[in-house]
Amino acid sequence: MKKYIKLAFIILSCVSMKAQQIPASKQAKPTLILNATAHLGNGEVIENSVIGFKEGKLTIVADATTIRLDMSAYENVIDAKGKHVYPGFIAPNSTIGLVEIDAVKASDDEREIGGMTPNVRSLIAYNSESRIIETARLNGVLLAQITPRGGRITGTSSIVHFDAWTWEDAIIKENDGIHLNFPTTFKRSGWWAEPGTIESNKDYTKQVDEINSFFGKSRVYLAEPSSVKNLIYESMKGLFDGSQILYINANEEKQLIDAIRIGKENGVKRMVVIGGYQAVKVVDLLKANQIGVLIGRVHELPRLDQDDIDQPFKLAKSLTDLGILVGLENSGDMERMNVRNLPFQAGTTVAYGLTKEDALKTITLNTAKILGIDKQVGSLEVGKDATLFISFGDALDMRTNQISKAFIQGRDIVLESHQTELYKKYKEKYNQ
């Protein structure tokens, strides 16, 4: 009894202090998930599956009806009959952990000033204890690319998982890429309260030239060892040696053409488009340069009145059909709290043409490939991280996205949040 009182005290104090969830301890016991429908993330489905993992890595992913297995090697066996297993969803181009409350400036660490700040690193500001992260985990989003905003070159992103004491613990890939906000060909006039017309951006050529010259200068600087260090140019190195990706935020056809041209001319090895509203118009260019697209928020309005009313819903399908590697990203208004809706954005692409497994790819393996982390995460394949979850039903549909278990690198993570605690607290209120 005493034990329970103590436990109750701990739980209560957790609630009243509204502390964050405790990160899970390292996977001690080899674990086996049996009989679930496994959605591998690479397009394959195993109806009656066996999924095993040890020390954080997947050791077996197979069909239960055909495989022979030594069960004794797995101390922890979970029967998931009737349930579904998915690889952890990945939220690229995210600011989760950089801002806690949009309107509270003091909680905002997502943007720098200076215009060209590739040296600015998101990782250092990433709050692995953000309460928003807990809510995203509950819907199956277990990984994210933490990306700075603001300026022309916003800075350097890193990829993290969602179960960590510190930002260092969270790293999946540090400094994976540099993000470029490409100038738009149209510019708003007026100010926010009295908007004028949207006029063609007269400075476009100049702005494009500035980017070109910035890349050029970086290249020249890096070509010859310098006694005087320029930290900004130094930080561009990975783009030219292929260790980092250039993420180009662009939606318009002309932007896309210019951005890719500048990247190529300056010897940028790997590029990714973020947004890509008009990417269909430059498919050949994307293919020729093996550029994947992280398409802008699916749950968005068409940009022009005349656009197909389902344009954002069906873009994933259009690009997939044209042979482009497509992932989903979710930047925009209220983007952090919206991270948890990423699976439903993928679900919407199914209503507008993609198959369910192809839609799943857009938030798992495709994204991992685009981000260059597919050797480690993105699908349920032997050797990869055991970052996965079990859902009662189809995780792309709100009604059935109900998660009973989630593992990050084999760690059995807590499926609670500030919100579930409040839920329990107030259920208790009405039971009193």
Partner 1 sequence: MKRIFLLLFWSVFLTSNINAQEYFPNNESTKSKSSVFIAFTNAKIHVSPSEVIERGTLLIKDGKVIAVGTSVLVPKNAMQINLEGKYIYPSFIDMYTNFGIEVPKTSRSEGNNNPLYDTKRKGYYWNEHIKTEVNASDSFKFDQIKAEEFLKAGFGVVGTHVPDGIARGTGALVLLNNDKETNKFLSTVTTNHFAFTKSQFSNQAYPSSLMGMLALLKQMYHDAKWYKEGNSDYRDASLEALIKNEKIVQIFASEDKLNSLRVAKLGKEFGINYILKGSGNEFERIDEIKKTNAKFIIPINFPDGYDVSDPYQANQMELADLRFWNQAPTNPKSLSENGIIFALTTDKLKKLDDFRTNLLKAIKYGFDKTKALESLTTIPASLLGKSDEIGSLKKGNIGNFLITSGDIFDSKTIIYENWVQGNKFIINDMNLKDIRAEYLLTIGNDNYKLKIDGEINSLKADVKLANDKKVNSKLTLANNWLNLLLKTADTTKTEFHRLTAFVSDTNIISGKAVLANGIETLWSAKKVPVSAETKKEEEKKSEINKVFPVTYPNLPYGNVQKPNQKTILFKNVTVWTNEKEGVLTETDVLIKNGKIASVGKNLADPLALVVDGKGKHLTSGIIDEHSHIAISRGVNESGHNSSAEVTIEDVVNSDDINIYRNLAGGVTTSQLLHGSANPIGGRSAIVRWKWGLAPEEMIFQNSPKFIKFALGENVKQSNWGIQNPTRFPQSRMGVEQVFIDYFTRAQEYDRLWKEYNSQGKMGNLKKPRVDLELQTLAEIINKKRFISCHSYVQSEILGLMRVAEKFNFNVNTFTHILEGYKVADEMKKHGVGASTFSDWWAYKFEVNDAIPYNAALMHKQGLIVAINSDDAEMSRRLNQEAAKTVKYGGVSEEEAWKMVTLNPAKLLHLDDKVGSIKVGKDADVVLWSDNPLSIYAKAEKTLIEGVVYFDKDLDVLKRDEIAKERAEIITQLLQEKNQGMATQPASKKEKVHYHCDTLEE
For partner 1, the binding residues (CB under 8 A) are 100-104, 132, 185-186, 188, 190-191, 193-200, 252-254, 278, 299-302, 304-306, 308-310, 334, 336-337, 340-341, 344, 347-348, 350-352, 396-399, 401-402, 419-420, 422-423, 426-427, 429-430
Which residue, 117 or 147, has its beta carbon nearer to partner 1?
Answer: 147
- Give the pair of three-digit tokens for residue 21: 């969830």
- In angstroms, give the least distance from the CB of 128 to partner 1: 16
- In angstroms, give the least distance from the CB of 254 to partner 1: 4
- In angstroms, give the least distance from the CB of 317 to partner 1: 13
User: How far is it, in rounded angstroms, from Cα 223 to Cα 233?
Assistant: 11
Which residue, 100 or 234, has its beta carbon nearer to partner 1?
Answer: 100
Closest C-alpha to 173, from 336, 375, 350: 375
Which residue, 300 or 321, has its beta carbon nearer to partner 1?
Answer: 300
User: How far is it, in rounded angstroms, from Cα 182 to Cα 248?
Assistant: 7
Amino acid of residue 372: G
Q: How many Cα atoms are found within 13 Å in the side-chain-facing hemisphere of 283?
A: 13
- In angstroms, give the least distance from the CB of 425 to partner 1: 9
- Give the pair of three-digit tokens for residue 298: 């699916």
Residues 64 and 50 sit within 8 Å (Cβ to Cβ): yes
Which residue, 382 or 422, has its beta carbon nearer to partner 1?
Answer: 422
Amino acid of residue 121: R
Which residue, 13 or 419, has its beta carbon nearer to partner 1?
Answer: 419
* Beta-sheet pairing, 89-94 with 141-146: parallel
Residue 82 has what DSSP assignment? Answer: T
Q: How far is CA 65 from CA 69, 109, 271, 323, 391, in A?
A: 11, 51, 42, 34, 21
- In angstroms, give the least distance from the CB of 184 to partner 1: 9
Can you tell me whether residue 206 is helix, strand or coil? helix
User: How far is it, in rounded angstroms, from Cα 132 to Cα 297?
Assistant: 19
Which residue, 230 or 402, has its beta carbon nearer to partner 1?
Answer: 402
Which residue, 81 or 105, has its beta carbon nearer to partner 1?
Answer: 105
What angle, rounded to 10 degrees, do the helices at 204-223 and 253-265 form? 20
Backbone angles phi and psi of 158, in degrees to 5: -140, 155
- In angstroms, give the least distance from the CB of 196 to partner 1: 7
Which residue, 26 or 188, has its beta carbon nearer to partner 1?
Answer: 188
User: How far is it, in rounded angstroms, from Cα 409 to Cα 381?
Assistant: 13
- In angstroms, give the least distance from the CB of 6 to partner 1: 27
Which residue, 4 or 430, has its beta carbon nearer to partner 1?
Answer: 430
- In angstroms, give the least distance from the CB of 195 to partner 1: 4
- In angstroms, give the least distance from the CB of 126 to partner 1: 16
* Other beta carbons less than 10 A from residue 210's beta carbon: 15
- Give the pair of three-digit tokens for residue 18: 């509204």
User: How far is it, in rounded angstroms, from Cα 361 to Cα 343?
Assistant: 11
